[in-house]
Structure 1
Amino acid sequence: MDISTGSTTSLRKTQTDWIILVLTGLAILVRLWGIGQHSFWFDEAREVLRSLTPWPDVLFVTDGADPPIYRLLLFPIAQLTVNEFWLRLPSALFSGGAVYLSYIWLAKQKLPTIGLLTALFMAVSSVQIYYAQEVSQYSFVVFLALLLLISFAQVRRRGAVADWVMLTVAIIVSLYSYYGLAWLLPILDLHLMWQLWQRKDRGQYGRFFTAHLIIGLSIVVLYFTQLNIHINRFSTNKGLEPLFVDPGWLASVRQFDNYLLDGFISFFTVPFSSVPGQWMPLIFLVVTAVGSIYLCRNNKKTCHLTLYFWATVAILFFVRFIGIYPIGQRYALAVLPLFFMLLAAAVISLKRWPVAAYALGIFLVSVQLFFWPQMAQVNPWLALPRESLRPAVAYLNEQAQPDDLVYVYYGAEPAYRVYQNDSPLETTYGTWFRQLPTPEKLAEIQQAINSAPRFWMAMSHIHQQEDAELIQALATGTPSYLVVDQFEAENAAVFLFVRAP
């Protein structure tokens, strides 16, 4: 052995280890930048309220459509504080941890350079940073997806008892955290079965059977405790009519490219944006295709990584086609690391032309930087789903009189309950009446305020122009109410109404 060569390899590994640690640290810092500045929006507030459920009832909350593990991670924090920073902190840490895991996963595939570049893309990913600053399970989903990829790779590579235990635990935790992770499992499991078949190792067959028996029993428990309820609620709320019914199977297959661009590529690269045309996602789609070809042509042993992405996308399309699960966007975040891996592979494919490789890499990073949520003030194409009810509620509390009533618009209820959990003001929460005609909406408000001389209406998560609609209806109703004071923030407001003489 050449001692100098060994020393050089060790030095490079040490340098790479430091680079990935620094990159992970910087990724976490970026995710902490401004994490507590914005209020909880509708979905976040609902998650916070679920986490405030007393023990042990929090174990069995079926409101919403997700299993319990993420909620249990939030539970101890929620008992101490409902501060935005602390409740969003787990999301930021999981998102930063995913940067590190993405490198570890690909380094185990003997692709350290692609792994390092994938980690860079994960670090600057606009969609990753957005969900790192939200009380939601989506950063945890990406983290768990990488944990599954690593666990399956470790079993294929070595297959020790500890590896099988890790894989079993990773799968159960994933299924008990987010149902969407299940669609990543078929292709990973098939690849594992194929390799075990090639090895003809009976000991591994026994471990495979034992692991899947335990996983199967855990799914049975999950089904009878929560999954059966979630299936009914989820299918009803999302209106998942099979695509082979409407618009029909042939038309749906023809639209697969649109589903891919809108549901996957656009959301992974320019989320919550209104970029004119589809030129941006088309560029990323071409880069993804180049990366796919490179991984298969450069090394046949890594071609399965390309298959992981495209097969999982096909599975997600199929389950939407038959009406089981929504397609794309946040529901497809489990394949995000695979997507960035393909982008990284495309950049590495240009290594013979360093200028082109650097240019492509800089372009891919720059696009992500421009769509960071922190850039919302300067990016004209970015429209984040945020709702600033906290300052509106603070204004209401400063201006309200002891005898004032508060009517809470249905979309504001979750966040209002979080921010006003001990308010002395008499409060009525409105029903979800967006489907009703205006006279019926007015009748509900009038019944709630009972001809009071003055009342406040708190609003967020406002549907279309419903705020203007309700203000006009109250002004023309009997009795008539006019707005005499108001505070408006981002997608949120409070209005003080006084009865007209």
Structure 2
Amino acid sequence: MISHFRFQQVFAPFVVATLLGIGLVLRLRQYLAGRSLWLDEAMLALNIVQRDFWGLLKPLDYDQGAPLGFLLLEKLTISLLGNGELTLRLTSVVAGCLALLFFYLLLMRFLSPAGLLPALALFALSERLVYYTSELKQYIFDVFGILALLLVFVYLSPSRERDDSPQNRAWIPLLAAGIVLVWFSHPSVFVLAGIGPTLLWQNRHNRRKLIQVGWVILGWLVSFGGVFLASLNNLSANDFLMSYWQEYFMPMPPWSNPGWLASVLTSTLTYFGLELPSWLALILLAGGLFALWRLDSSLASVFALTLLAAFGASALGKYPFGGRMLLFVAPISIGLFGAACEGLYRALKRLRWGAGLAVCVLALVLLAGPASKALENFSEPRMQENMHPAMRVLRAQHRPGDLIYVYYAAMPAFRYYVPFYGFGEEQFRAGEISYYRFLAPTLADIDTLRGNPRVWVLFSHVYEEDGVNEREAVLTYIDEQKMGKCRIESREPGTSVLLYLCDFVP
């Protein structure tokens, strides 16, 4: 039988290397899949491409919002490497791959293979983390930023050294990381809200260190103040964004919706692929926090205070705690999942191999879903709203005099790709971007197409609610009004992009 020592020294490193390799391959596979920009990406891309560096400091068009550091880095990247999907997503894929490595380095500091391997496996396989690594949005930078700050805290915090050892320069990495990262990831301020009080508590008996920690926190506050004045203030005043995310703000008072907190805490694990009931998710999180407290009380304190800060911001209506805005909690919730596995292993350690077997069974059961989804997405990467097939059909079959009508939600992606496919502004009409509007304006747009014998109608990100599908409603309207006949010319399986050619009677 393989000894425990041999597992620790030989087999565990092999599994770690395998998981890291699988995680990187999954991320690069999705990145290189040739997926076109979808609605949200296209709206952000138009801002980045059409504005200069100074223009990105102003409120963005299309109700978009992103950290200024991220926007300027994207602009610098396309200025150096050219405009294109791979270039626009390059910063995200680098951040996502580094986040995977950073997560492993963090786990190494407080977990044995019993907890490290299940947590690393979930982080490597999680569909959300893989997908957002190749998305032109800032969300994977949130994961990267949180992990970078946690690593600096764990590895470089002078409070972890002997009382007489730290020098002033020992605080510089922590100060610099906090000052810089809040410009690239807004949720980074939450982990700073966890690190700051923890450092103050650790150094409460050392006046010199306490003053140094105070200066570090002051530097963070000044930097975050700049972020707030430069961009966050405008984002919090955006009525569309506040309305869009309304359901994800913590209800006040909290007891007005007692199930909200349990549901949100559960989602911090289920969002990343674990299919488990609420009670089990809460046990894993609570058990993980307890186990982590026994392993490293400072890190457990940072984790708990980070979540409290995020909930506080949500209660104030400043940060929606749900959907893709949850991505930043991945290092914390998945780390607690690993700590729970570690705690189970230690509790059953007297059983020798029985302890390892119990953890393996738990991990395999919980990770079966993420592993299956990862295999599926590797075989067929997520294409979302793939505009390329429809654009190729248009370029090949478009005739002089043809008119292209672009459904309002397809317009940002279409407008981004127009220069690549050689169409001019005069060749298409686009519905006015006004999301979640009534159907009447769209039908009014269709009425203006009368008298054009050949009209291409391009749909993407079709609005559907209360039993109304706007694509179906438009086609029904064309038929009922006897405007002509439409036939589908392009429909890519697995995407929501559809292209119709309509022969309208004069």
TM-score, normalised to structure 1's length?
0.83
Range with bigger deviation, 322-331 or 391-400: 322-331
Query: What SS class does the counterpart of residue 490 from structure 2 fall into?
Result: strand
Query: What SS class does the counterpart of residue 187 from structure 2 fall into?
Result: helix
Matched, 1:487 2:490: yes
Q: Please state how far the C-alpha of 1:193 moved relative to its aligned partner.
A: 1.0
| Counterpart-to-counterpart distance in 1, 2:59 and 2:435 | 24
Q: Please state how far the C-alpha of 1:324 moved relative to its aligned partner.
A: 2.1
The residue identity in structure 1 corresponding to 2:357 is V
Matches within 5 A, 1:311-390: 311-351=305-345, 352=349, 353-372=355-374, 374-375=376-377, 386-390=384-388
- CA 1:218 to 1:32, structure 2 compared with 1: closer, same or farther past 3 Å? same
Q: Please state how far the C-alpha of 1:108 moved relative to its aligned partner.
A: 4.0
| Counterpart-to-counterpart distance in 2, 1:92 and 1:374 | 20
Match of 1:5 in 2: none
Q: Please state how far the C-alpha of 1:130 moved relative to its aligned partner.
A: 1.7
Match of 2:352 in 1: none
| Counterpart-to-counterpart distance in 1, 2:251 and 2:31 | 42
Deviations 1:293-318 (A, max 9, x none): 3333xx3x513434444443343333
| Counterpart-to-counterpart distance in 2, 1:311 and 1:214 | 20
Matched, 1:226 2:223: no
- CA 1:485 to 1:443, structure 2 compared with 1: closer, same or farther past 3 Å? same
Matches within 5 A, 1:185-204: 185-198=192-205, 200-202=206-208, 204=209
Is the 2:67–2:138 contact (alpha carbons within 8 Å) kept by the matching residues of 1? no
Query: What SS class does the counterpart of residue 499 from structure 2 fall into?
Result: strand
Match of 2:479 in 1: 475
Query: What SS class does the counterpart of residue 372 from structure 1 fall into?
Result: helix
Query: What SS class does the counterpart of residue 458 from structure 1 fall into?
Result: strand
Deviations 1:362-413 (A, max 9, x none): 22332221233844989xxxx9681122211111221111221222111112
Q: Please state how far the C-alpha of 1:469 moved relative to its aligned partner.
A: 0.8
The residue identity in structure 1 corresponding to 2:245 is K
Range with bigger deviation, 135-144 or 280-289: 280-289
- CA 1:371 to 1:228, structure 2 compared with 1: closer, same or farther past 3 Å? same
Count of residues in Structure 1 that have an aligned counterpart in Structure 2? 473
Matches within 5 A, 1:93-242: 93-109=94-110, 114-115=115-116, 117-153=118-154, 154-155=156-157, 156-158=159-161, 159-198=166-205, 200-202=206-208, 204-233=209-238, 234-239=241-246
- CA 1:347 to 1:485, structure 2 compared with 1: closer, same or farther past 3 Å? closer
Range with bigger deviation, 408-417 or 25-34: 25-34
Deviations 1:120-152 (A, max 9, x none): 332222221121232222222111101111222
Match of 2:414 in 1: 416
Range with bigger deviation, 188-197 or 96-105: 96-105
Is the 2:249–2:320 contact (alpha carbons within 8 Å) kept by the matching residues of 1? no
Match of 1:462 in 2: 462
| Counterpart-to-counterpart distance in 2, 1:61 and 1:459 | 30
- CA 1:450 to 1:239, structure 2 compared with 1: closer, same or farther past 3 Å? farther
Q: Please state how far the C-alpha of 1:459 moved relative to its aligned partner.
A: 1.4
Q: Please state how far the C-alpha of 1:238 moved relative to its aligned partner.
A: 3.1
Q: Please state how far the C-alpha of 1:254 moved relative to its aligned partner.
A: 4.2
Is the 2:246–2:320 contact (alpha carbons within 8 Å) kept by the matching residues of 1? no
| Counterpart-to-counterpart distance in 1, 2:321 and 2:87 | 31
Query: What SS class does the counterpart of residue 105 from structure 2 fall into?
Result: helix
Is the 1:99–1:122 contact (alpha carbons within 8 Å) kept by the matching residues of 2? yes
The residue identity in structure 2 corresponding to 1:119 is L
Match of 1:291 in 2: 288
Match of 2:49 in 1: 52
| Counterpart-to-counterpart distance in 1, 2:259 and 2:15 | 44
Q: Please state how far the C-alpha of 1:81 moved relative to its aligned partner.
A: 4.1
Is the 1:184–1:335 contact (alpha carbons within 8 Å) kept by the matching residues of 2? no
Match of 2:257 in 1: 252
- CA 1:391 to 1:78, structure 2 compared with 1: closer, same or farther past 3 Å? farther
Query: Matched residues, percent identical?
Result: 23
Is the 2:292–2:300 contact (alpha carbons within 8 Å) kept by the matching residues of 1? yes
Is the 2:461–2:497 contact (alpha carbons within 8 Å) kept by the matching residues of 1? yes
| Counterpart-to-counterpart distance in 2, 1:24 and 1:342 | 19
Is the 2:488–2:500 contact (alpha carbons within 8 Å) kept by the matching residues of 1? yes
Structure 2: runs of 5 or more not aligned: 350-354
Is the 2:402–2:454 contact (alpha carbons within 8 Å) kept by the matching residues of 1? yes
| Counterpart-to-counterpart distance in 1, 2:105 and 2:330 | 16
Q: Please state how far the C-alpha of 1:347 moved relative to its aligned partner.
A: 2.2
Is the 2:191–2:306 contact (alpha carbons within 8 Å) kept by the matching residues of 1? yes
| Counterpart-to-counterpart distance in 2, 1:118 and 1:324 | 30
TM-score, normalised to structure 2's length?
0.82
| Counterpart-to-counterpart distance in 2, 1:334 and 1:243 | 17
The residue identity in structure 2 corresponding to 1:213 is L
- CA 1:440 to 1:237, structure 2 compared with 1: closer, same or farther past 3 Å? same
Match of 1:32 in 2: 28
Q: Please state how far the C-alpha of 1:481 moved relative to its aligned partner.
A: 3.7
Query: What SS class does the counterpart of residue 452 from structure 2 fall into?
Result: coil
